[in-house]
Amino acid sequence: MADELSGIRILRRRLEEMDAVMLYRLLWMRSRVFNGEQHATDDDLDGRDLEPSSSLMWAQRDGLPIASLRLLDEDGTTVIGRLVTEPEYRGRGIAGALLRDVLDVTEGPLVLHAQAHLADWYARFGFIVDGPEFMEAGIPHVPMRMTR
Protein backbone atom coordinates (compact mmCIF):
# COMPACT_ATOMS: atom_id res chain seq x y z
CA MET A 1 0.00 0.00 0.00
CA ALA A 2 2.94 2.36 0.58
CA ASP A 3 3.57 2.45 -3.18
CA GLU A 4 -0.08 3.39 -3.78
CA LEU A 5 0.30 6.36 -1.42
CA SER A 6 3.63 7.66 -2.72
CA GLY A 7 3.35 11.10 -4.25
CA ILE A 8 0.03 11.80 -2.51
CA ARG A 9 -0.43 14.93 -0.39
CA ILE A 10 -3.28 15.42 2.05
CA LEU A 11 -4.47 18.98 2.55
CA ARG A 12 -7.16 20.66 4.63
CA ARG A 13 -8.59 24.11 4.00
CA ARG A 14 -11.55 26.25 4.91
CA LEU A 15 -13.49 27.53 1.92
CA GLU A 16 -12.14 31.07 2.16
CA GLU A 17 -8.56 29.71 2.12
CA MET A 18 -9.03 27.74 -1.09
CA ASP A 19 -7.94 28.46 -4.61
CA ALA A 20 -11.03 28.73 -6.84
CA VAL A 21 -9.73 26.15 -9.32
CA MET A 22 -9.10 23.52 -6.62
CA LEU A 23 -12.50 24.18 -5.06
CA TYR A 24 -14.12 23.71 -8.47
CA ARG A 25 -12.23 20.43 -9.00
CA LEU A 26 -13.30 19.11 -5.59
CA LEU A 27 -16.95 20.02 -6.09
CA TRP A 28 -16.90 18.62 -9.64
CA MET A 29 -15.50 15.31 -8.34
CA ARG A 30 -18.24 15.12 -5.71
CA SER A 31 -20.94 15.93 -8.26
CA ARG A 32 -19.67 13.36 -10.79
CA VAL A 33 -19.60 10.58 -8.19
CA PHE A 34 -22.65 11.34 -6.05
CA ASN A 35 -25.04 12.68 -8.64
CA GLY A 36 -23.65 11.11 -11.81
CA GLU A 37 -22.37 7.68 -10.80
CA GLN A 38 -24.46 6.98 -7.69
CA HIS A 39 -27.58 8.84 -8.84
CA ALA A 40 -28.03 10.56 -5.46
CA THR A 41 -31.41 12.26 -5.36
CA ASP A 42 -30.26 15.24 -3.26
CA ASP A 43 -28.02 18.03 -4.49
CA ASP A 44 -24.42 17.67 -3.36
CA LEU A 45 -24.22 21.43 -2.85
CA ASP A 46 -26.34 21.68 0.28
CA GLY A 47 -25.01 24.97 1.65
CA ARG A 48 -23.09 23.31 4.48
CA ASP A 49 -19.74 23.93 2.80
CA LEU A 50 -20.37 27.62 3.59
CA GLU A 51 -20.83 27.11 7.34
CA PRO A 52 -18.14 28.73 9.53
CA SER A 53 -16.97 25.37 10.94
CA SER A 54 -16.71 23.68 7.53
CA SER A 55 -13.43 22.57 6.01
CA LEU A 56 -12.54 20.34 3.11
CA MET A 57 -9.80 17.73 3.29
CA TRP A 58 -8.47 16.07 0.18
CA ALA A 59 -5.78 13.83 -1.20
CA GLN A 60 -4.07 15.00 -4.33
CA ARG A 61 -1.55 13.56 -6.74
CA ASP A 62 0.27 15.73 -9.26
CA GLY A 63 -1.82 18.71 -8.14
CA LEU A 64 -5.17 17.04 -8.87
CA PRO A 65 -7.66 15.87 -6.23
CA ILE A 66 -8.25 12.11 -6.10
CA ALA A 67 -10.29 11.83 -2.88
CA SER A 68 -11.95 14.28 -0.51
CA LEU A 69 -14.28 14.73 2.42
CA ARG A 70 -15.95 17.51 4.35
CA LEU A 71 -15.61 18.21 8.07
CA LEU A 72 -18.08 20.18 10.17
CA ASP A 73 -18.04 20.96 13.89
CA GLU A 74 -21.41 20.60 15.59
CA ASP A 75 -21.09 21.48 19.27
CA GLY A 76 -17.74 19.73 19.70
CA THR A 77 -18.61 16.73 17.54
CA THR A 78 -16.82 16.40 14.20
CA VAL A 79 -19.21 15.50 11.40
CA ILE A 80 -17.56 13.71 8.48
CA GLY A 81 -19.38 13.84 5.19
CA ARG A 82 -19.08 13.76 1.43
CA LEU A 83 -16.25 11.19 1.40
CA VAL A 84 -15.51 10.52 -2.25
CA THR A 85 -12.72 8.87 -4.25
CA GLU A 86 -12.13 9.07 -7.97
CA PRO A 87 -13.11 5.69 -9.48
CA GLU A 88 -9.63 4.89 -10.80
CA TYR A 89 -8.13 5.36 -7.30
CA ARG A 90 -10.57 3.20 -5.34
CA GLY A 91 -9.27 0.16 -3.48
CA ARG A 92 -5.79 1.64 -3.09
CA GLY A 93 -6.03 2.82 0.52
CA ILE A 94 -6.37 6.50 -0.33
CA ALA A 95 -9.74 7.06 1.35
CA GLY A 96 -8.40 5.17 4.36
CA ALA A 97 -5.34 7.43 4.51
CA LEU A 98 -7.63 10.45 4.35
CA LEU A 99 -9.81 9.10 7.16
CA ARG A 100 -6.76 8.26 9.31
CA ASP A 101 -5.59 11.84 8.84
CA VAL A 102 -8.98 13.06 10.09
CA LEU A 103 -8.52 10.93 13.21
CA ASP A 104 -5.06 12.47 13.71
CA VAL A 105 -6.11 16.12 13.36
CA THR A 106 -9.43 16.08 15.24
CA GLU A 107 -10.35 15.55 18.87
CA GLY A 108 -13.51 14.34 20.52
CA PRO A 109 -16.40 12.38 19.07
CA LEU A 110 -16.97 11.89 15.35
CA VAL A 111 -20.16 11.04 13.50
CA LEU A 112 -21.00 10.23 9.91
CA HIS A 113 -23.73 8.81 7.72
CA ALA A 114 -22.16 5.81 5.99
CA GLN A 115 -23.57 4.27 2.87
CA ALA A 116 -24.86 1.01 4.34
CA HIS A 117 -22.61 -1.21 2.22
CA LEU A 118 -19.56 0.64 3.61
CA ALA A 119 -20.36 0.26 7.32
CA ASP A 120 -17.84 -2.56 7.77
CA TRP A 121 -15.15 -0.45 6.10
CA TYR A 122 -15.75 2.41 8.56
CA ALA A 123 -15.82 -0.09 11.44
CA ARG A 124 -12.18 -0.94 10.67
CA PHE A 125 -11.32 2.59 11.82
CA GLY A 126 -13.28 2.30 15.06
CA PHE A 127 -16.71 3.61 14.05
CA ILE A 128 -19.80 1.81 15.34
CA VAL A 129 -23.32 1.78 13.95
CA ASP A 130 -25.41 4.16 16.05
CA GLY A 131 -28.97 3.66 14.81
CA PRO A 132 -31.15 2.02 12.20
CA GLU A 133 -30.61 2.14 8.45
CA PHE A 134 -32.29 5.05 6.68
CA MET A 135 -32.51 6.50 3.19
CA GLU A 136 -30.50 9.60 2.36
CA ALA A 137 -30.37 10.98 -1.18
CA GLY A 138 -32.05 7.76 -2.35
CA ILE A 139 -29.20 5.60 -0.97
CA PRO A 140 -29.35 3.35 2.15
CA HIS A 141 -27.21 4.79 4.97
CA VAL A 142 -26.48 4.02 8.62
CA PRO A 143 -25.50 6.54 11.31
CA MET A 144 -22.06 5.80 12.75
CA ARG A 145 -20.16 7.23 15.68
CA MET A 146 -16.72 7.13 17.25
CA THR A 147 -16.28 8.32 20.82
CA ARG A 148 -12.77 9.08 22.00
- pLDDT greater than 70 at residue 4: no
Report CA-CA distances (Å) from 126 to 17, 70, 80, 123.
31, 19, 14, 5
What is the mean predicted confidence (pLDDT) over 124-134? 97
Q: Is residue 65 within 8 Å of residue 82, measured between CB atoms? A: no
Q: Is residue 94 within 8 Å of residue 113, measured between CB atoms? A: no
Give dist(CA 70, CA 83) in Å, integer: 7
- pLDDT greater than 90 at residue 119: yes
Q: How confident is the model at residue 73 (pLDDT cuts 50, 70, 90)?
A: very high
- pLDDT greater than 80 at residue 45: no
Neighbours of 134 (CB within 10 A): 11
Q: Among residues 4, 20, 22, which one has the least CA distance to residue 64?
A: 22
Strands 77-85 and 110-115: what pairing? parallel
pLDDT (tens digit, 9 = 90+) per residue, 10-21?
A: 999 999 999 999
**Would you tell me which CATH number, out of the four given (2.20.25.10, 3.40.50.720, 2.130.10.10, 3.40.630.30), belongs to the domain 8-146?**
3.40.630.30
What is the mean predicted confidence (pLDDT) over 122-131? 97
What percentage of the chain exceeds 70 in pLDDT?
A: 97
Q: How confident is the model at residue 26 (pLDDT cuts 50, 70, 90)?
A: very high
Give dist(CA 108, CA 147) in Å, integer: 7
Helix, strand or coil, per DSSP, at residue 78: strand
Q: How confident is the model at residue 35 (pLDDT cuts 50, 70, 90)?
A: confident
What is the mean predicted confidence (pLDDT) over 136-141? 91
Give dist(CA 111, CA 128) in Å, integer: 9
Give dist(CA 23, CA 25) in Å, integer: 5
User: In the chain, where are the structural domains located?
Assistant: 8-146
In 31-81, alpha helices (H): none
Query: How many CA atoms lie less than 13 Å away from 125 in the CB half-sphere?
Result: 23
